[in-house]
A = this chain, B = another copy of it.
Amino acid sequence: MSREPEDNTIAARIARVLAERIVHGELAPGARLRQDHIAEEFETSHVPVREAFRRLEAQGLAISEPRRGVRVASFDLAEVREVAEMRAALEVLALKHAGRHLTPAILDAAEEATREGDAAADVHAWEEANRRFHRLILTPCAMPRLLASIDDLHAASARFLFSAWRSGWEKRTDHDHRAILAALRQGKAEEAASILQKHVQWIGRAPQPAQKGGERQAFAIVG
């Protein structure tokens, strides 16, 4: 619950912290978010809490029913797929526009993020590196509205990932990321976009070998 510099208002800080908790699964789907309790925890009144709720609602992380309160949004396989398809469509668009503006320095940083992802010891470290990779190659498109939408979709994606993969992370080599970088280095933005599209659409689609413990969902959840 630390204070980040971009927390200009109390409402922004509360929204950020609650979003983190929802994404990391500390707040379960369907859990009620009681404004007075949260206000007490953050040592504020409930007014900024209610403003934070509106932000979470817009991100799709919470559902508000008038007079009935706010709950952590639930989700199902259909929504995992919906978010994956939206990400595929929007990230492809972003990459096509970013293409011309990508520098060798950016691609090197993206390769480093890929290596860190491959070496990640747990799912949280992998997600952080994965998100950094995607953000690095997409940010140069300079389309703020598009990037904001993609960020929200990444939060939803991360939430699905963490809910499915609480333990038992296995290191894996991300061949897709490497193929994307190779294509970008050759200036083949369209080809890179095509690989990126399949890479992200994979989420929620393909069967996945069941993990030890048997509580694994049989669907790919990385990307």
Look across to chain B and name the residue whose beta carbon is closest to the beta carbon of A12. B66
Look across to chain B and name the residue whose beta carbon is closest to the beta carbon of A59. B58
Within 8 A of B (CB), among A49-94: 50-51, 54-55, 58, 60, 66-67, 79, 82-83, 85-86, 89-90, 92-93
Q: Which residues of B contact A97 (CB under 8 A)?
A: 85
The answer to whether A103 has its CB under 8 Å from any CB of chain B is no
State A79–B148 Cα separation when bound (angstroms).
13
Closest Cβ–Cβ distance, residue A72 to chain B (whole Å): 16
The answer to whether A47 has its CB under 8 Å from any CB of chain B is yes
Task: Determine chain A's interface SS by DSSP, over half rule.
Answer: helix
Within 8 A of B (CB), among A1-45: 8-9, 11-12
Q: Which residues of B contact A93 (CB under 8 A)?
A: 85-86, 89
Total copies of this chain within the assembly: 2
Q: Please, how many residues of chain A have a CB less than 8 angstroms from a CB on the other chain? A: 28
Cβ B149 vs Cβ A86 within 8 A: yes
State A51–B56 Cα separation when bound (angstroms).
12
State A46–B12 Cα separation when bound (angstroms).
18
The answer to whether A145 has its CB under 8 Å from any CB of chain B is yes
Decide yes or no: A58 and B58 within 8 Å by CB, A86-B145, A149-B149 being known contacts.
yes
Cβ A8 vs Cβ B79 within 8 A: no
Look across to chain B and name the residue whose beta carbon is closest to the beta carbon of A11. B54
Cβ B146 vs Cβ A86 within 8 A: yes
Contacts from A to B (Cβ < 8 Å): 8-9, 11-12, 47, 50-51, 54-55, 58, 60, 66-67, 79, 82-83, 85-86, 89-90, 92-93, 97, 143-146, 149
